[in-house]
Amino acid sequence: MTAVYVENLTTDIFQNVSFDLPNHGFYGLIGRNGIGKSTLFSILNGEVKNFTGTFKIGKVCYVPSLEIFDKYLSANDYIALLSQNEQIAFDKHLEFMGGADFFSKKIGTYSLGMKELFAFIFAVSLDSEVLILDALLDGLDEQRRFKALRLVKQYSHDRLVLLTSHNLSEVFEYSDAVYFLDRDSLEKVDNLSLATERISVV
């Protein structure tokens, strides 16, 4: 089965991009700065309507920005909105990630690492078929980032994960496959050195 199917996607940025991805697995998505990775994710999440082409996708969880969380609310306020099963998953994932003692405080007081920890656990706990992590782990300390990647690897056994990160070596280490996004294609790239070379080409 296919979790993501895109055919002839055309926008101000893309020209006839087509690809499909299976209903589970851990896939890195890389590309040059400004190529449109976040725009593609927003299209897949249904936020952007100004395009031609067709796509089919399962239920998506995507945190486009940490600013979507109200700075005057606490993490606990958002956790209270989860279903019972999602709250159980959240507690399990929080324990795996090493816990946190700041979730009762307002989000506006959190550091970048605190925000990313909460946003990651929240996202991975939601009932979804496709999880998009758009540089969401880059602000975590090394130990927690390692745990997050291990957790996502487990998660991807029965769901689809799309990951972008500034740490290309980690993308290649943990992903089942890595894809390079360009204006007119999404193509598999086989090794880190080739990916680094393609990203550096202007």
pLDDT value of residue 104: 98
Residues 24-35, mean pLDDT to the nearest whole number: 94
Contact call for residues 162 and 132 (beta carbons, < 8 A): yes
Q: Which domain holds residue 58?
A: 2-200
**What CATH code is carried by the domain that includes residue 165?**
3.40.50.300
pLDDT at 168 over 60: yes
pLDDT beyond 60 at 111: yes
Percentage of the chain with pLDDT > 70?
100
pLDDT in tens, 47-106: 988 899 998 999 999 999 999 999 999 999 999 999 999 999 999 999 999 999 999 999
More confidently predicted of 119 and 199: 119
Q: What pLDDT is recorded for position 202?
A: 57
Q: Give the DSSP letter string of 129-177.
A: SEEEEES-STTS-HHHHHHHHHHHHHHTTSSEEEEE-S-HHHHHHH-SE
pLDDT at 176: 96
- Rounded alpha-carbon distances, angstroms, from residue 81 to 25, 99, 130: 28, 20, 20
Given a contact cutoff of 8 angstroms between Cβ atoms, the answer to whether 143 and 92 are in contact is: no
Separation CA 188–CA 180 (nearest Å): 6
Confidence band for 118, pLDDT divided at 50, 70 and 90:
very high
Average pLDDT of the residues in 148-159: 94
pLDDT of residue 68: 95
Q: Give the mean model confidence (pLDDT) for residues 7-24.
A: 94
What is the count of structural domains for the chain?
A: 1
Above 60 in pLDDT, residue 201?
Answer: yes
Q: Where residue 198 falls among pLDDT bands split at 50, 70, 90? A: confident
pLDDT classification of 166: cutoffs 50, 70, 90: confident
